[in-house]
Chains A and B, each alone.
Chain A
Amino acid sequence: MRIKDLEKLKNEGVESLPSDERRSFLKFGLSVTGVFLGGSVLSLTSARNAQGALGTMPKAQKFPYSPHYTMVIRQNRCIDCERCMEACVKTNHVPSYGYRTRILEQEREVGPNETERIFMPVLCNHCNRPPCVRVCPTKATFKDKKTGIVKMEYKKCIGCKTCMAACPYGARYFKEENRAVDKCNFCYDTRLSKGETETACAAACPADVRVFGDLADTSSRVYQLIHSPEKVVWVLRPETGALPNIYYMND
């Protein structure tokens, strides 16, 4: 059959092909876009995007930092007692109008006339590709080369607040006292550098919601939690491509 004759054929629709069949093509990196002559002729196209949609696990890679600081938030244990916020304010001298961490509240429908309350702790995600760092004109905010913590150098900050607009997580505020933007730094200056092993918020949590640790250490609790195959783990706003380091799960 000549190629010109093929073009005249009617596409019978990919739905007529069993999904198993289509999947076997996807495994080769091809997606079926047309079915002709009762399935004896198929049209195919490269399926790079479709591969992502399949949710294949990325290949095991080395975590880029050591220690690679991370927080796992076991969301359904949070009761909004806000002891984490109190501890943070006290430890890091956060003014009353600002915040380094917050608890968000959601009401979710779980059935007919039945809703469930969800408390969601949020903080700086210490992204591997931080949008805030990319936009800072003075390099006042930067990604710590060793730990991956997104830090501030207050004296370089000119207060343009571009980082506040760029942050997908609303994790920054302008601190009048410093004349600079302030944000969570995993208590690096106030605790970690003084030998403490966890942040003030994690230490204050009575419900073991916030688990802090080194993701590069395979024996750490954060690593174990994230790599439990039976659990669903998610991050906030993955579509931004910022590669956040705060992971969420239900216990």
Chain B
Amino acid sequence: MKFDYKRVTGFLSAIAFTGVLLGFAGNAVSEEYDEDTYGPEAPIVFTSPVKAVIFTHKLHTMDVGLECDSCHDEIFEMEIGSAEANGDYTMQSLYDGKYCGACHDGDTAFASDTRCTVCHIGVKGFDRMFGSPKTDSHSGGNH
């Protein structure tokens, strides 16, 4: 087979180009994460009503540029577990414009009934973050 030099060089220059872009991006994101400005750094993982849904402050504040009062305290109270305690922290509420659905409506941000697994990390995602009691106890078991 003949070697297509044109394509190969094109590909290489594309790599070089992305390299430059990444270089710029790398410099721009040198800002340190400040919890007072951007909220708690550790991701919040909701386990009720379903296990498990992830939310990161960093993505919504530092990266996208939302202010604290974009969500607090009208849409979400700051206290841990308050949304789950309300009893209506469901997808239907989101479709009705409550909680995440205030922005995730298809206009401001992707709609709540699309791209499920962006936020839903599942039991597997939860176990990866916090360890799985099932696999831990099983490691010395039947195999």
8 A Cβ contacts from A108-163 to B:
116-119
Are A82 and B141 neighbours in the complex by a CB distance under 8 Å? Answer: no
Question: Do B121 and A117 touch (CB < 8 A)?
Answer: yes
Closest to B49 in A: A206
Contacts of A77 in B (CB 8 A): 116
Closest B-chain residue to A117, C-beta based? B117
Q: List 24 A-B contacts (CB under 8 A).
A: A76-B116, A76-B117, A77-B116, A79-B50, A79-B120, A80-B123, A80-B124, A80-B125, A81-B51, A81-B123, A82-B123, A96-B134, A97-B138, A97-B142, A103-B124, A105-B124, A116-B117, A117-B117, A117-B118, A117-B121, A119-B117, A119-B124, A206-B49, A206-B50
Let me know if B122 is at the binding interface, CB within 8 A: yes
B138: A residues at CB distance < 8 A: 96-97
Interchain CA distance A199-B120 in the complex, whole Å: 24
Contact A79 B124 (CB under 8 A): no
Quick check: A82 and B117 within 8 Å, CB to CB? no
The 3 closest A-B pairs by CB, nearest first: A80-B122, A79-B120, A117-B117
Cα distance A97–B122 in the bound complex, in angstroms = 20
CA distance A82 to B50 in the complex (A): 9
A79 to B142, CA, bound (A): 29
Most A C-beta atoms less than 10 A away, residue of B118, B123, B134:
B123
Contact yes or no, B141 A79, CB < 8 A: no
Given contacts A103-B122, A105-B122, contact A82 B142 (CB under 8 A): no
CA distance in complex: A209, B123 (Å): 16
Residues of B within 8 Å of A105, CB to CB, are: 122, 124
Of B116, B121, B122, the contact of A82 (CB 8 Å cutoff): B122
How many Å lie between the Cα of A176 and that of B115 in the bound state?
40
Q: Which residues of B contact A76 (CB under 8 A)?
A: 116-117
Of chain B, the residue at the smallest CB distance from A81 is: B50
Question: How long is the Cα–Cα vector from A81 to B50 in the complex, in angstroms?
Answer: 6
* Chain A contacts for B116, CB-based, 8 A: 76-79, 207
Among A80, A82, A119, residue most surrounded by chain B Cβ atoms (within 10 Å):
A80
Report yes or no: A119 in contact with B122, Cβ–Cβ below 8 A: yes
Which residues from A are CB-within-8-Å of B141? Answer: 97
Most buried by B among A83, A116, A117, A118: A117
- Chain B residue numbers with a CB within 8 Å of A116 are 115, 117
Contact: A79 with B134, CB < 8 Å?
no
Interface string of A81-111 (1 = CB under 8 A from B): 1110000000000001100000101000000
- B117's nearest neighbour on chain A, judged by CB, is A117
